[in-house]
């Protein structure tokens, strides 16, 4: 992929968003993954030969869902293995990053009141009854004692479950239950013995697991903030935790091992709130998530992944394989508001989590970073409050107003600099982060928009002794507009597969409250003088991913025979494109969101239970995708567990043919020509009413003519599946930007919507 200087610069200066791409062991060599696909014949021979040379080389072996292993190898050993029969690929072990309540109430209310879809008769609501699905979660582990994982009134563990509860440091088999039915962890010599356990030491996995499948917990809050009932999307689903992430990241070798075990254990769904950075996104053949999920989906296991946090720049979405359900992040209608009161009694609304003990009266001196410039600093650096650009004598005992532009020092670094120089509090000016509350503990910090900053600056410039105060955070409900697409949420199109729309869907991922560690005393989580919280508030696509995993589990419980593709289709075609003001969903800049921002739209918690029609995909279509992508039949036969008899790659395979995969969205490349392009789709009637008629409406992209044939689909008792074709004709060859629209099939009960992307 092409890497811009902006991405490279961002990667190095925003290191807290990224994790190093390899974990080297100086004594044993680097860790390499030797992926052998479905080829089991050569596995024992190659592994035995390796262990004869170095008995300590093996890190993980893969033998359930696919074949291969991870091992400490020298560069020359790794190169030699690439030529061994049965080896698909050999690549360095990557280390991936984590992509890191009222959200369910908001989603439910949005669907029932605000969408323009037709009501679904007798549609089930979110319920703790009737679900016995097993959600496998690859993350940082779990805190099993949390109230969110109580197994009261749960029935016996499903007999199909073949997993286990691994004992480890501070984790015994008794920590598992009828709710947490499985727990595994993956280690190698580079990981300290104290973390040899499925017990969560970071909090991320606990938060994710309770968002996906936590039981209802009344009166949950983060020290009084965001108070309400905390519950998961599928409260009666079982949880299986696979700890693959540690302090220094998530090794790809461990991720592959977890996929291998989860396939054998018997999970129904897998949720992964992690992935590569956008800058160094690997090819499918060297991506452990793409490889592992391919085999999981072959076995009927739905895989849900976060889209990444490298937005809002385009082409930053990760986890883009078409067999993965990829989730973007959006806000909910809850604002964590920390206001500013100026000396003229004007109130400016800000966003943050802080437990400020400042007086409510505006009596604290207020100074801008530019006015507090040190002698050696530039005006620009001082306005942005860069460390060492501020004169300590000019800010001591004062509130400091700071610009915050992306690509420089982090807010945390600036806050530490101001605090260490005696500053009393901070006001950041940043339009993007205004709706994402960061946690500042007891230090008074808030974030405002550039529009509101003008009013503060006017007051400061007109007042000789300007004063203000920053109020402690309060919870604001029914905030408008919501949802908006979170600024950090990774955007499409995918750099590797533009003819498949990614992300697929958006879900709540901003200021989400969920279960946490009971022993977390870190300053970032536990304010000074307080007990550790039972629940915490986090933002990221890490939080949106388990929302969709929980919804998918709920749909699966009502439709156990549905394939992963059918589940994804049900979720995508019933999404909402409107906010709680009955207007189009926007980005945090106020611009109307496109499918590159939120895929098919904001997920519905219940719409997918009765979607009317679904776009199903046979596993053989994913094999065809690999052909179109550029893999030859020999490689594909090694990768896939099952190859249909007589399968071969078309002689004219090209990336443009990817548009014909039976995806719930349509993306086509016009390639600078006005020649018509036609794609085919097949829909399956899953409504109890077998005799039904659907008619089509088209939201046509500008500068493109779109024709759907036939314009009516008649389903009968004997006709469950019907095909249709969509023809795109450019009205001119002058289009310079990607164009968006939608195709919607409507019956008396249902509306089945597919977004369109036309790439000029």
Q: How confident is the model at residue 570 (pLDDT cuts 50, 70, 90)?
A: very high
Count other Cβ atoms within 10 Å, centred on residue 365.
16
What pLDDT score was predicted for residue 114?
31
CA distances from 57 to 25, 47, 49, 288, 514 (A): 11, 10, 11, 20, 40
What pLDDT score was predicted for residue 434?
86
Phi, psi of 71 (to 5 degrees): -155, 155
Residue 128 pLDDT exceeds 80: no
Please say whether the beta carbons of 128 and 150 come within 8 A: no
Where in the sequence of the chain do the CATH 3.50.30.30 domains occur? 338-474
Q: Is 551 or 37 the better-scoring residue by pLDDT?
A: 551
pLDDT tens string 674-713: 679 999 999 999 998 889 999 999 999 888 999 999 999 9
Count other Cβ atoms within 10 Å, centred on residue 82.
13
What pLDDT score was predicted for residue 513?
94
What pLDDT score was predicted for residue 709?
97
Sheet holding 425-429, edge to edge: 347-348, 340-342, 467-470, 364-368, 399-403, 425-429, 445-448
Say whether 99 is catalytic.
Answer: no
Please say whether the beta carbons of 260 and 126 come within 8 A: no
Residue 186 pLDDT exceeds 90: yes
What pLDDT score was predicted for residue 502?
97
Where in the sequence of the chain do the CATH 3.40.50.200 domains occur? 130-333+484-609
pLDDT tens string 26-74: 345 789 999 988 777 788 888 888 888 888 889 999 988 888 999 999 9
Q: What is the mean pLDDT of residues 418-425?
A: 95
Intra-chain end-to-end CA distance of the chain, in Å = 19
pLDDT tens string 555-564: 999 999 999 9
What pLDDT score was predicted for residue 16?
30
529 vs 526: CA distance, rounded Å: 8
Q: Is 55 or 480 the better-scoring residue by pLDDT?
A: 480
CA distances from 528 to 460, 523, 531, 671 (A): 32, 7, 9, 59
Residue 271 pLDDT exceeds 70: yes
- 253, HSE (Cβ side, Cα atoms, 13 Å): 26
Q: How confident is the model at residue 732 (pLDDT cuts 50, 70, 90)?
A: low
Choose, from 18, 60, 204, 404, the residue flagged as catalytic.
Answer: 204
What is the chain's mean pLDDT, rounded? Answer: 88
What pLDDT score was predicted for residue 109?
45
Residue 576 pLDDT exceeds 50: yes
Choose, from 330, 506, 542, 665, the residue flagged as catalytic.
Answer: 542
Beta strands at 302-306 and 269-272: parallel, antiparallel or unpaired: parallel
Please say whether the beta carbons of 710 and 699 come within 8 A: no
Q: What is the mean pLDDT of residues 486-495?
A: 95
Where in the sequence of the chain do the CATH 2.60.40.2310 domains occur? 662-759
Choose, from 105, 139, 339, 738, the residue flagged as catalytic.
Answer: 139
Q: Classify residue 189 by burial, with Cβ atoms within 10 Å: 0-12, 13-18, 19+.
A: exposed
Residue 759 pLDDT exceeds 60: yes
Residue 86 pLDDT exceeds 50: yes
Residue 117 pLDDT exceeds 80: no
Q: Above pLDDT 70, what percent of the chain?
A: 90
What pLDDT score was predicted for residue 565?
98
Top CATH class of 662-759 equals: mainly beta
390 vs 418: CA distance, rounded Å: 8
Residue 722 pLDDT exceeds 90: yes
Say whether 542 is catalytic.
Answer: yes
Top CATH class of 130-333+484-609 equals: alpha beta
Residue 440 pLDDT exceeds 50: yes
What pLDDT score was predicted for residue 646?
85
Residue 728 pLDDT exceeds 90: yes
Top mean pLDDT of 368-372, 649-653, 751-755 is at 751-755
Phi, psi of 334 (to 5 degrees): -120, 125
The secondary structure of 331-376 as a DSSP string is --SEEEE--EEETT--EE--B-B------SSS-EEEEETGGGB-TT
pLDDT tens string 163-173: 999 999 999 99
CATH number (2.160.10.10, 3.30.70.80, 3.40.50.1820, 3.30.450.20) of 31-92 reads 3.30.70.80
Top CATH class of 338-474 equals: alpha beta
Say whether 659 is catalytic.
Answer: no
The partner residues of 45 in beta bridges, in order of sequence, read none
Dihedral angle, C-alpha 211, 214, 216, 217, nearest 10 °: -90
What pLDDT score was predicted for residue 673?
63
Using alpha carbons, select from 330, 207, 204, 212 the residue that is nearest to residue 270: 212
What pLDDT score was predicted for residue 27?
44
203 vs 210: CA distance, rounded Å: 11
pLDDT tens string 351-364: 999 999 999 999 99
What pLDDT score was predicted for residue 26?
36
pLDDT tens string 11-20: 322 323 332 3
Q: What is the mean pLDDT of residues 624-648?
A: 87
Give one word for 426, left, alpha or beta, with left for phi > 0 and alpha for psi -120 to 50: beta
pLDDT tens string 513-525: 999 999 999 888 9
What pLDDT score was predicted for residue 105?
56
pLDDT tens string 280-303: 888 898 999 999 999 999 999 999
What pLDDT score was predicted for residue 110?
41
Q: Is 396 or 16 the better-scoring residue by pLDDT?
A: 396
Q: How confident is the model at residue 735 (pLDDT cuts 50, 70, 90)?
A: low
């Amino acid at each position: 992929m092409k890497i811009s200087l902006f991405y490279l610069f961002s990667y190095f200066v925003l290191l807290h968003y990224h994790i190093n791409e390899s974990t080297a062991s100086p004594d044993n060599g680097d860790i390499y993954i030797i992926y052998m696909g479905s080829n089991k014949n050569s596995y024992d021979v190659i592994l035995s030969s390796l262990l004869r040379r170095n008995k300590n080389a093996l890190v993980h072996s893969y033998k359930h869902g696919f074949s291969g292993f991870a091992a400490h190898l020298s560069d020359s050993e790794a190169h030699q293995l690439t030529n061994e029969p049965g080896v698909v690929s050999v690549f360095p072990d990557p280390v991936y990053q984590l992509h890191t309540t009222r959200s369910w109430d908001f989603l439910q209310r949005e669907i029932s009141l605000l969408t323009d879809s037709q009501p679904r008769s007798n549609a089930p609501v979110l319920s703790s009854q009737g679900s016995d699905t097993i959600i496998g979660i690859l993350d940082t582990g779990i805190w099993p004692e949390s109230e969110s994982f109580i197994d009261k009134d749960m029935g016996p563990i499903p007999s199909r479950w073949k997993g286990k509860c691994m004992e480890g440091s501070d984790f015994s088999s008794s920590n598992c239950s009828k709710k947490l039915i499985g727990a595994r962890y993956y280690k190698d010599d580079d990981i300290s013995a104290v973390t040899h356990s499925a017990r969560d030491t970071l909090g991320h996995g606990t938060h994710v697991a309770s968002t996906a499948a936590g039981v209802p917990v009344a009166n949950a809050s983060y020290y009084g903030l965001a108070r309400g009932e905390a519950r998961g999307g599928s409260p009666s689903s079982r949880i299986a935790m696979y700890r693959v992430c540690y302090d220094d990241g998530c090794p790809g070798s461990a991720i592959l091992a977890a996929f291998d075990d989860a396939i054998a254990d018997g999970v129904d769904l897998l949720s992964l709130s992690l992935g590569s950075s956008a800058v160094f996104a690997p090819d499918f053949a060297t991506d452990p998530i793409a490889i592992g999920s391919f085999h999981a989906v072959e076995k009927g296991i739905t895989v849900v992944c976060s889209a990444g946090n490298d937005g809002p720049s385009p082409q930053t979405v990760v986890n883009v394989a078409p067999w993965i359900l990829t989730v973007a992040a959006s806000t909910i209608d809850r604002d964590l508001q920390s206001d500013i009161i100026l000396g003229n009694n004007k109130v400016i609304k800000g966003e943050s989590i802080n437990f400020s003990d400042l007086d409510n009266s505006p009596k604290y001196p207020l100074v801008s970073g530019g006015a507090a410039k040190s002698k050696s600093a530039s005006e620009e650096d001082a306005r942005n409050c860069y460390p060492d650009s501020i004169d300590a004598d000019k800010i001591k005992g004062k509130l400091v107003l700071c610009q915050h532009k992306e690509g420089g020092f982090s807010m945390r670094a600036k806050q530490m600099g101001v605090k260490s120089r005696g500053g009393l509090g901070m006001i950041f000016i940043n339009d993007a982060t205004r709706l994402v509350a960061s946690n500042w503990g007891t230090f008074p910090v808030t974030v405002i928009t550039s529009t509101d900053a003008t009013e503060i600056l006017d007051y400061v410039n007109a007042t000789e002794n300007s004063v203000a105060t920053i109020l402690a955070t309060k919870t604001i409900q029914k905030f408008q507009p919501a949802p908006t697409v979170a600024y950090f949420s990774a955007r499409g199109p995918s750099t590797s597969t533009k003819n498949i729309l990614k992300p697929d869907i958006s879900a709540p991922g901003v200021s989400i409250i969920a279960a946490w560690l009971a022993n977390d005393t870190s300053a970032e989580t536990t304010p000074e003088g307080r007990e550790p919280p039972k629940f915490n508030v986090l933002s990221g696509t890490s939080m949106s991913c388990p929302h969709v995993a929980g919804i998918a589990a709920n749909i699966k419980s009502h439709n156990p025979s549905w394939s992963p593709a059918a589940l994804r289709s049900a979720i995508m075609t019933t999404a909402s494109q409107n906010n709680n003001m009955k207007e189009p969903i926007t980005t945090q800049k106020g611009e109307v969101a496109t499918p590159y921002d939120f895929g098919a739209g904001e997920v519905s918690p219940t719409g997918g239970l009765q979607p009317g029609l679904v776009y199903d995909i046979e596993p053989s279509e994913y094999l065809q995708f690999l052909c179109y992508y550029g893999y030859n039949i020999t490689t594909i036969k090694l990768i896939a567990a099952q190859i249909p008899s007589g399968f071969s790659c078309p002689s004219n395979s090209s990336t443009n043919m990817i548009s014909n995969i039976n995806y719930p969205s349509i993306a086509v490349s016009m390639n600078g020509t006005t020649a018509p392009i036609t794609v085919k789709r097949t829909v399956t009637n899953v409504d109890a009413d077998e005799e039904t008629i659907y008619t089509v409406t088209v939201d046509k992209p500008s500068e493109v003519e779109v024709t759907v044939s036939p314009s009516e689909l008649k389903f009968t008792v004997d006709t469950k599946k019907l095909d249709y074709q969509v023809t795109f004709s450019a009205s001119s060859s002058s289009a310079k930007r990607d164009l968006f629209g939608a195709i919607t099939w409507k019956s008396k009960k249902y509306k089945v919507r597919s977004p369109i992307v036309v790439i000029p």
